Amino acid sequence: MTNPSIEAVNLSKTYGSFTALSNLNLKIEGSKCVGFLGPNGAGKTTTLKIFTDLIRQSSGEALINGNNVHTHKKAALASVGTVIETPEIYPSLTPTEALSMIAAIRGIPHSERSKRIEDVIVEVGMQEWAKKRVGKFSKGMKQRICIASALLSDPTIVLLDEPTTGLDPRGMSEVRDIVKSLKKKDRLIFMSSHILSEVADVCDEVAMIDHGKLLVYDTLPNVTAKFAGGANIVEVELIRPIDSSVMERSVAVIQGVVSVEKKDDKNLRIKYGGGGLEIQEKVLSDLVRLNIGVVSYKPASSALEESYLNLIKDTL
């Protein structure tokens, strides 16, 4: 199977004199999770709506796996699962019926349909509600069914538009876990979000957009290294609790480390001097050598936030 890909080629969208999207060129290829960031009105949802044929571009092309979404919608969206805004489901249907409809539209054979629907309902934690009518569901419950619908055909590409918007903290956390679990399979996930910590937590790469123009598209470490200014912070997760004295004696003295902060027994925030990926790599290798049980090492969301603010500020 070829690498999943989505590509915007000179993609523009105008509403009268207002330009929502201006010559967007962006190619994302391979199994990864890409966060799509930008302020309100930047063009994120417009882009995702063009990629799902909910709106038409004014010029340019939106391609999914090489297929033009507008002219060859069925081919383009055959292997794509989407949740755009907060969709509503026909209120008299149950989740099982609504998902059966989508399964039938997508051509999932009868023999597999029930099992597949059951699986995705379990995946989004809605098994108790599978036979109840959707009309009475909360926004969060409907959002889960929509996520289930996006996963139904086991897509290679998942497009999510602010999937946690409107959810309570627990719902947000659960949806984040679902998105993380999506990464376990070979999928391209393209997710717009306002929540930078969410993107830092879930995504491998980020694309930032403002005033309809792409500002940057790169890996998360590269973006934070290039644009976070002095605030180079990484978050480190440990498999076992670390003693404060070990932290002071061993971690704080690593060359390049400016300060170490203990978020809790198993999580550290390390601020390092200078910049760039080289110093990040050196700090990581020194931490591993300390044998303190490093299981995760990633740029802090605050670094992404600073990158974001620096980039967006430049376009104001």
Q: Which residues bind another protein (CB under 8 A)?
A: 1, 15, 49, 52-56, 73-80, 82, 84-93, 97-98, 100-102, 104-109, 133, 146, 149, 153-156, 159
Three-class DSSP category at 221: helix
**H or E segment to which residue 219 belongs:** strand 213-219
Tell the smallest beta-carbon distance from residue 100 to another protein (Å).
Answer: 8
CB of 113 to another protein, least distance (A): 10
Residue 99 in contact with residue 120, Cβ under 8 Å? yes
97 or 305: CB nearest another protein: 97
What is the nearest approach in angstroms of another protein to the Cβ of residue 93? 6
User: In whole angstroms, how close is the CB of 37 to another protein at the nearest point?
Assistant: 21
- Closest CB to another protein among 73 and 262? 73
Is the CB of 106 or the CB of 282 nearer to another protein?
106
Q: Coil, strand, or helix at residue 175?
A: helix
Q: Which of 82/301 has CB closer to another protein?
A: 82
Kindly state the smallest distance separating residue 26's Cβ from another protein, in Å: 19
Give backbone dihedrals phi and psi of 110, rounded to 5 degrees, phi first: -55, -40
Which residue, 156 or 307, is less far from another protein as judged by CB?
Answer: 156
Provide φ and ψ at 18, rounded to 5°.
Answer: -90, 130
Count the alpha carbons within 13 Å of 232 in the hemisphere toward its beta carbon.
Answer: 22
Three-state DSSP class for residue 277: helix
Q: Return d(Cα 66, Cα 51) in angstroms, integer.
A: 12
